[in-house]
């Protein structure tokens, strides 16, 4: 791997700063906004900004441990989940890791930055681009770890609790560390039933990544955490990073949410209800327009449409996430846009096979759209209808 390839930054949603975006569907934050408990904590005074933050996040780790059934020594907090992905990869000495694709781009970047080999396993559109039962035999004792995202990103396919139990057992038998990113699982109805956290709590060779970023709409604060089956592994990841990874305001906001359990439960209950209802509506209306949503359960929808759709929506101030840069996604047509948030004046496009069969298939691009509140979702759907 060449150094310049490792250093090249991936593109993400929400990066458009020109002011032309009025409705940004490229980022998948909770449409309810930051919880009131977190707002109160952030407005409590300047002192949280004037003091150095607690380097060990001791109060936050204790509260998270109590919430999920872990001792605080097996909880590590970070500057978002992506910070913890890099610290885990750079501190673990992985030689080869199995990665179902498509997947969040930072897994691959972090693994490559650590010098690790990556064994990519293509997943299927009909299963929601997620690890399924047919892939259990692919777990290999020669791999140091298996990285999973549940629900998957960018499609939102769900690994059931039943299948997760089989995956944990298979990884345990073959001595493979299981890393599960669950940053979007709290948006799924009864998401806890599908979580791998219980196995990490029981001391299995499992690491679970979670974040306040998406579910509590704290993208600007940056607050993630990891739950470890091993205290030794947790300590190694914590010690690898620089000090003061989590700011004082982020710690205060996270603690406020955790220390307001009734308020937080009501917030999460309303979130799940809203996302389930609006996702079903959006999928139905996209299908009625002749578009092709990929099966999923998360607070975002992956669908295929004409390459021109992104440009036309951009001209109207709507940003989607163009997913042509996802390794293994295999669209029939690569994105015509230089910027994956699709706000660009460029209109030409180049056909690239990408290793996918394109016979008798109309050119199409994969787009990911966040599920927002009913008013915003309605506006997006109307604009899509006008553009196709």
Q: In tens digits, what is the pLDDT along the chain, a chain of 388 residues?
A: 554 454 465 555 555 656 688 999 999 999 999 999 999 999 988 888 999 999 999 999 999 999 999 999 999 999 999 999 999 999 999 999 999 999 999 999 999 999 999 999 999 998 999 999 999 999 999 999 999 999 999 999 999 999 999 999 999 999 999 999 999 999 999 999 999 999 999 999 999 999 999 999 999 999 999 999 999 999 999 999 889 999 999 999 999 999 999 999 999 999 999 999 999 999 999 999 999 899 999 999 999 999 999 999 999 999 999 998 898 886 544 333 333 333 322 223 333 333 343 333 456 899 999 999 999 999 999 999 999 8
* 5 SS3 class: helix
Residues 19, 158, single domain; the answer is no
Looking at the fold, whether 14 and 47 belong to one and the same domain comes out as: no
Report the pLDDT value the prediction gives residue 337, as an integer from 0 to 100.
30
Contacts of 320 (CB under 8 A, 6+ apart): 25, 26, 310, 313, 341, 342, 367, 368, 369
In whole angstroms, give the CA distance from residue 197 to residue 229. Answer: 9
Measure the CA–CA gap between 71 and 62, rounded to whole angstroms.
7
Check whether residue 107 and residue 138 sit in a common domain.
yes
CB 331, CB 59: distance < 8 Å: no
Shared-domain flag, residues 310 and 223: no
Q: Give the CATH number for residue 15.
A: 3.90.1150.10
pLDDT of amino acid 20: 81
222 & 313 share domain = no
Pair 243, 346 in one domain? no
Strands 117-122 and 96-101: parallel
Residues 83 and 133 in one domain: yes
CATH number of residue 91's parent domain: 3.40.640.10
Query: How many other β-carbons are positioned within 10 Å of the β-carbon of residue 202?
Result: 11
Residues 245 and 357 in one domain: no
Q: Which of 28, 31, 27, 33 is nearest to 15 (CA)?
A: 27
Residues 310 and 355 in one domain: yes
Task: List strand residue ranges (DSSP E) for the chain, in order.
Answer: 23-24, 75-78, 96-101, 117-122, 145-149, 177-181, 206-211, 224-228, 292-293, 300-305, 318-319, 321-322, 365-370
**pLDDT reported for residue 342:** 36
Comparing C-alpha atoms, which of 304, 259, 307 is closest to residue 286?
Answer: 304
Rounded to the nearest 10 degrees, what angle do helices 374-387 and 261-288 cross at? Answer: 20
Residue 203: give the domain boundaries.
36-259
pLDDT of residue 328: 86
């Amino acid at each position: 791997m060449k150094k310049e390839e490792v250093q090249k930054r991936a593109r993400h949603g929400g990066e458009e700063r020109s002011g032309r975006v009025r409705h940004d569907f490229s980022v998948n934050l909770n449409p309810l906004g930051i919880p009131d408990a977190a707002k109160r904590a952030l407005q409590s005074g300047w002192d949280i900004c004037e003091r150095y933050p607690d380097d060990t996040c001791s109060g936050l780790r204790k509260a998270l441990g109590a919430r999920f059934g872990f001792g605080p020594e097996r909880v590590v907090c970070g500057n978002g989940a992506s910070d913890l992905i890099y610290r885990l990869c750079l501190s673990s000495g992985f030689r080869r890791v199995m990665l179902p694709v498509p997947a969040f781009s930072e897994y691959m970047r972090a693994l490559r930055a650590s010098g690790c080999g990556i064994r990519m396993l293509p997943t299927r559109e009909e299963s929601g681009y997620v690890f399924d039962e047919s892939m259990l035999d692919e777990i290999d004792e020669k791999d140091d770890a298996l990285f999973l995202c549940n629900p998957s990103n960018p499609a939102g396919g769900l690994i059931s609790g039943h299948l997760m139990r089989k995956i944990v057992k298979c990884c345990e038998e073959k001595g493979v560390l299981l890393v599960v990113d669950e940053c979007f699982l709290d948006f799924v109805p009864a998401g806890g039933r599908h979580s791998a956290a219980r196995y990490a709590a029981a001391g299995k060779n499992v690491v679970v990544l979670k974040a306040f970023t998406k579910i509590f709409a704290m993208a600007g604060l940056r607050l993630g955490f990891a739950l470890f089956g091993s205290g030794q592994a947790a300590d190694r990841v914590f010690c690898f990073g620089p000090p003061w990874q989590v700011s004082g305001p982020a710690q205060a906001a996270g603690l406020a949410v955790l220390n307001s359990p009734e308020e937080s439960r009501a917030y999460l209950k309303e979130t799940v209800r809203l996302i389930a209802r609006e996702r079903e509506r959006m999928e139905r209306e996209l299908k009625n327009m002749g578009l092709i949503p990929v099966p999923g359960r998360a607070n975002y929808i992956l669908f295929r449409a004409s390459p021109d759709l992104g440009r036309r929506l951009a001209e109207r101030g709507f940003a989607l996430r163009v997913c042509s840069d996802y390794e293994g996604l295999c669209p029939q047509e690569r994105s015509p846009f230089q910027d994956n948030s699709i706000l660009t004046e460029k209109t030409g496009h180049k056909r690239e096979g990408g290793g996918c069969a394109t016979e008798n298939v109309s050119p199409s691009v994969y787009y990911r759209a966040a599920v927002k509140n009913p008013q915003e979702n309605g506006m997006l759907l109307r604009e899509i209808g006008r553009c196709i």
